[in-house]
Amino acid sequence: MGECVFCKIIRKEIPSTIYLENEKVIAIKDINPAAPVHVLIIPKEHIENVKDINENNGKILVDIHLAANKVADELGISQKGYRLITNVGKDAGQTVFHLHYHLLGGMEMGEKII
């Protein structure tokens, strides 16, 4: 199966448009956007998905949400609203098995997710 693409992005082996980066997370532009603003927020530590969050690594969720707030503000969508989604497992649509959140905004999405 090979190494996940996000690990290569984190190491800068694959170029990406970076909106935010710190020691814990990186936020990049999604190359297949589902909304006018579509950012992926990825922890640098490899965690497969939310099922693998535990007492030792759970603080990463705070870092992810703080990054989401900052990026949404910088991209001008924080006031009108945005959606923050993560997929857990194949049936939920997870295709890259490294925890990441989709920050979507820049349009009215309505209340239904699917």
Number of H helices, E strands in the chain: 2, 5
Q: Are 18 and 87 in contact (CB under 8 A)?
A: no
Could you tell me the maximum CA-CA distance found in the chain, to the nearest angstrom? 41
- CB within 8 Å of 22: residues ≥ 6 apart: 63, 67
Q: Which one of the listed residues 38, 46, 65, 100 is annotated catalytic?
A: 100
Decide if 100 is catalytic: yes
Q: Are 86 and 99 in contact (CB under 8 A)?
A: yes
Distances (CA, A) of 92 to 17, 87, 95, 97, 113: 26, 5, 9, 12, 12
Residues identified as active-site = 100
